[in-house]
Amino acid sequence: MAFEFAVQLEELPSGTMRGVVVDGQKVLLIHVDGQIAAFEDRCQHMGVPLSNGFLEGTSLVCFMHGWEYEALTGQGVNEPSACLKAYAVRIDEDGAVYVSVDGEE
């Protein structure tokens, strides 16, 4: 599993999310309560970028039709059969966040 640099942790404060491109893939990074999660930046409903949505506590909400996901697991809330594709994350001692898009978490 190859990890690629995504962002510095200081650029992703707790309670925020950010869309980035890692190794040519659109990735959504989410920081909630000291934990970082990475998912494919694509809603399971219509395929729109979830980075255009918003974070409400521990819920990620798609801007288009309000599909909601658990921010740290990617599990669908109002559509339980929907689950986001998760990527593995590593953070080094200097606060660099790395994501692996070549295999699921």
Domain residues for the domain of 42 are: 4-104
Q: What domain count does the chain have?
A: 1
CA 75 to chain centre: 12
Query: What's the pLDDT band for 105 if we cut at 50, 70, 90?
Result: low
pLDDT digits (tens, 9 = 90+) for 41-83: 999 999 999 999 999 999 999 999 999 999 999 999 999 999 9
Distance CA 42, CA 21 (A): 13
CATH of the domain at 75: 2.102.10.10
* Mean pLDDT computed over 79-94: 96
pTM above 0.85, yes or no: yes
